[in-house]
Amino acid sequence: MTVRTSIATLGMVGALGGVLVAAFAAPVVAGAGLAAKGTADTFTHLPPAPREEPLSEVTRLVDASGHTFAQFYQANRTTVRLDQVAPVMRQAIVAIEDARFYEHGGMDVIGTLRALIANTRAGSIKQGGSSLTQQLVKNILVESAKTEEERDRARAPSVSRKIHELRLALAMERKYRKGEILEKYLNIAYFGAGAHGVEAAARRFFSTSAAELTLTEAATLAGAVRTPYSTDPSIGRAQRARLKERRDLVLDRMAGLKLITREQASEAKASPLGLKLKPEPGGCSQSEHPYFCMYVHRELLTNEVFGSTAAVRRARMERGGLVIRTSLNPKAQKAAERAIRERVNPEDTEVAAEAMVEPGTGWIRAMAASKKVGPGKKGGARTTYNLVADVRHGGGQGLQAGSTFKVFTLATALKEGWRFGDGFDTPGSLVPSKGYRDCAGKPVNDPSAQVFNAGGEGSDGGPHSLETGTWKSVNIFYMMLERKVGLCDVVKTARELGVVRADGRPLREVPTFTLGVNEMDPLTVAASFAALGARGRYCRPLAIVEIADRNDRRTRVRPDCHQAIERAVADAVSHVLTGVFDKGTMRGQDPGMPAAGKTGTNNGYTSAWFAGYTPRLAAAVSVGDIRGSYRHPLRNVEIGGQYYGSVQGASLPGPIWVDSMRRALRGEENRGFHSPDMSRFGGGHTPGLEEALAEERGETRERGDRRGRDHPISKRHRKIIEWLLGERRHPPRDRW
């Protein structure tokens, strides 16, 4: 009988095999505990084919260009159709595992009888004889087992289990064609080295696909199936030697069946194994972009959108064979990684982290940090925390955001009718003893605290407007501004712009809210600043764009956005924040494109930030010591081989931001911001500052001195004005 035996003939052979087994195996099955009377029924009245669960497959994360950068799996498997497997591979597996596969109806009668008799005499399974269909049944039972107990039963070396397997194999032959059975077997079989199924095996052993396998490669994989652990080439030389022996056996068997010539077999046996072992990393620690991977992983496990329970979500991720298209932009990701790598070493205890978010959509374009991901010593080159994200997404407690929070007070003031030039005279320090109430209406004043400007007591005092107070990041000005517009109003603005603490606890509604006392993560800050770049439209950060299942059914994830603040207000905020680069704390660090941003340096230099945006992209960079920001402030430190007396927002996070944004947006259209409504926000009045500016323009005013003459501006006042306008790097030494 040839391999081209018709399906009808195969069915007859299968039925005949059942009768023959029933006739000749009565004593055998009786010895196995089955009554002789029921022997015929055992092989003629068959159960349904075994229930088949979808095979466990690899879930892949791909970036915006379609490149796979991470994968999760319970079993490294990618299912393929039979026509996607090289014909020589199909021949090789049949030749070595079941040469009469196309001739029998589910069991090889001769082999089965020989094995049954030998095994019954031994009292356990001592000899093989399983047809390819029987092996498929066993694999199905193991794969679909819900518990270890069920898996053990499916593998039990007992005659009764073997008879059950035989009956199910006959049922499978009635249900499926031979080609379907072979396809299922090739996809479920374990080949060793962590490779389940022929496609994964081809990639793992030879860095190729199942469709491209050569004769020697096919024979090698076919030889590995019988003893996948003792022939695992990834283990060592002894295993590779056994694998070559098995390969040569397959080649001889193929030649004996006249599937190949003796010359072909001899030539193939003379060649080396030709292994090209390709690692198949699983999990985020082995990902190209581990922080982005960690974020997606946690999102898949915790978001109910992806499954009603944690168990369902985990099973779907680890077994579902999903292709998850993410928002990761390779260009932006590499830009962030490079900018950090050039300034901060993995071994430094100080850590730099950056997130990039697209305004108007919330798509996360990059997540990077200076530490590598994976288990390691505390404070070493590795971490298991997502340093770019919040606790919910695997992050830590976050870092105080510092003066980046002044932006929310600025937006609140503009929303409530303040103009760019509006302001007031400020002292050098402030005790927040009155005027601060939280959103519950409770006074939260702190008479025991004294707040200074960044330069210490007495610095930056004098008149400031919304513009100069922002450009110079004057703490006392912003504490007073927050009190004037209302602490609760500032908190509400921040919440509308997506601000939540990294640790998930409620925001601290205290007088120093505007100075950034709440611990934040870079992603949350970047998303809030992205809303300003989108003219007030806040979008929840999203990393998953689309999910395709194994049947190519696609589910698209749409942005979740709302208008957080008026467009006009957002435009006005952007107008003020652009001055930070040419008139303020980032003066001299030209991003080379229209950009707005804010530095953040915390009290005692516990952490440093820069957050900024263009209409196309927003980013936030944080720097802090991984051992604890309060116990290890950023003073007198060496980071990336460079010494810093103190790390400020403009000294390290700022340059990282500028370099990463330049590279991420290189070649892109440099769209500018919308001009502010000057009829609404232009002008304004700041007592003291207005007069000084008037005098600087050459105007004079009546001083009321005894001579009653115009009094020119003093040199001291001129120096202060030049500093406020950004024309001097440092304030005059004498006080206002």
pLDDT digits (tens, 9 = 90+) for 647-681: 999 999 999 999 999 999 999 888 899 999 999 99
The pair phi, psi for residue 625, each rounded to 5°, is -85, 130
Q: What mean pLDDT comes out for the span 18-41?
A: 45
Scanning the structure block, which residue is given the tokens 């069920």?
Answer: 150
31 pLDDT higher than 50: no
| Greater model confidence, 501 or 142 | 501
Categorise residue 331: left if φ over 0, alpha if ψ from -120 to 50, beta otherwise: alpha
Among the listed residues 231, 266, 268, the one whose alpha carbon sits nearest the alpha carbon of residue 246: 231
| Residue showing tokens 């505390």 | 378
Q: How far apart are CA 234 and CA 205, in angstroms?
A: 9
User: Residue 707 — very low, low, confident or very high, per pLDDT cuts 50/70/90?
Assistant: very low
Span 643-649, average pLDDT = 96
Q: Which residues pair with 451 in a beta bridge?
A: 430
Check pLDDT > 70 for residue 410: yes
Q: Which residue has the higher pLDDT, 258 or 309?
A: 258
Between CA 78 and CA 58 the distance in angstroms is 6
Q: Which of 52, 198, 220 is nearest to 138 (CA)?
A: 52
Look up residue 471 and give its two tokens. 């450009």
pLDDT at 41 over 90: no
CA distances from 129 to 96, 309, 508, 518, 530 (A): 12, 43, 72, 69, 66
Averaged pLDDT for residues 620-638: 94
Q: How confident is the model at residue 718 (pLDDT cuts 50, 70, 90)?
A: low
pLDDT of 151: 77
Burial 84-107 (b: 16+ CB within 10 A, else e): ebbebbbbbbbbbbbbbbbbbbbb
| pLDDT level of residue 23 (50, 70, 90 thresholds) | very low
Measured between alpha carbons, how far is 72 from 320 in angstroms, rounded to an integer? 10
**Higher pLDDT residue, 263 or 736?**
263
pLDDT given at position 118: 59
- DSSP string of 194-257, one letter each residue: TEESHHHHHHHHHSS-GGG--HHHHHHHHHHTTSTTTT-TTT-HHHHHHHHHHHHHHHHHHHHT
Contact 533, 593 (CB under 8 A): no
Do residues 75 and 56 lie in contact, with contact meaning Cβ atoms separated by under 8 Å? yes
DSSP 510-566: SGGGGGT-SEE-HHHHHHHHHHHHTTTEEE--B-EEEEE-TT--EEEPPP-EEE-S-
Tell me: the pLDDT tens digits for 418-475? 999 999 999 989 999 999 999 999 999 999 989 988 765 445 678 999 999 999 999 9
DSSP character for 43? H
- Residue partners of 710: CB distance under 8 A and separation at least 6: 700, 701, 702, 703
Dihedral angle of Cα 117, 123, 126, 130, to the nearest 10 degrees: 60
Answer whether 526's CB lies under 8 Å from 356's CB.
yes
pLDDT score at 27: 46
pLDDT value of residue 36: 44
Among 209-218, 284-293, 300-309, the least confident range: 300-309
Q: What single-letter amino acid sits at 418?
A: W
What ranges make up the beta strands (E) of 32-140? 59-62, 68-72
On whether the CB atoms of residues 132 and 178 are closer than 8 A, the answer is no
Q: How far apart (Å, rounded) are the C-alpha atoms in residues 507 and 473?
A: 22
Residue 28 has pLDDT above 60, yes or no: no
Closest residue by Cα to residue 89 from 227, 245, 198: 198
Q: Please tell me the predicted confidence (pLDDT) of residue 481.
A: 98
Residue-wise pLDDT tens digits, 184-238: 999 999 999 999 999 999 999 999 999 999 999 999 999 999 999 999 999 999 9
pLDDT at 701 over 70: no
pLDDT digits (tens, 9 = 90+) for 329-359: 999 999 999 999 999 999 999 999 999 999 9
Domain 7-52+79-269 CATH (choose: 3.20.20.110, 1.10.150.20, 1.10.3810.10, 1.10.3720.10): 1.10.3810.10
Question: Which one, of 690, 592, 674, 608, lies nearest residue 645 by Cα?
Answer: 608
Instruction: Give 656-676 as a DSSP string.
Output: HHHHHHHHHTTTS----PPPP
Q: Strand 372-373 to strand 382-383: parallel, antiparallel, or no bridges (unpaired)?
A: parallel
Best CA proximity match to 619, nearest among 502, 532, 542, 522: 522
Phi-psi region of 345 (alpha: psi -120 to 50; beta: other; left: phi over 0): beta
Tell me what the pLDDT averaged over the chain comes to. 86
Q: How sure is the predictor about 316, in pLDDT bands with cuts at 50, 70 and 90?
A: confident
Sign of CA dihedral 318, 323, 329, 335: positive
Q: Which are the contacts of 34, defined by CB distance < 8 A and separation ≥ 6?
A: 42, 160, 163
Query: Are residues 565 and 496 in contact, defined by beta-carbon separation less than 8 angstroms?
Result: yes
Place 122 in a pLDDT band, splitting at 50, 70 and 90.
low
Backbone angles phi and psi of 379, in degrees to 5: 80, 5
What is the band of 52 on the pLDDT scale with cuts at 50, 70, 90?
Answer: confident
How far apart (Å, rounded) are the C-alpha atoms in residues 599 and 613?
12
* DSSP 3-state of 481: helix
Q: Is 462 exposed, middle or buried (0-12, 13-18, 19+ CB in 10 A)?
A: buried
- Domain-wise residue ranges, the chain: 7-52+79-269
Rounded CA gap, 600 and 650, in Å? 8
Give the span between the Cα atoms of 520 and 97, in whole angstroms: 60
User: Dihedral through CA 169, CA 98, CA 109, CA 190, nearest 10?
Assistant: -40
Model confidence at 366, pLDDT cuts 50, 70, 90, reads: very high
What are the DSSP calls for 611-665, one per residue? EEE-SS-EEEEEEEETT-TTTS-SEEEEETTEEEEE--TTTTHHHHHHHHHHHHT
Which among 456, 454, 459, 458 is positioned nearest to 403, based on CA atoms?
A: 454
Is the pLDDT at 303 greater than 50? The verdict is: yes
pTM > 0.85: no
For residue 102, give both structure tokens: 């196309």
Q: What is residue 485's predicted lDDT score, i.e. its pLDDT?
A: 97
Tell me, what's the pLDDT at 274? 95
**pLDDT at residue 479, rounded to an integer:** 96
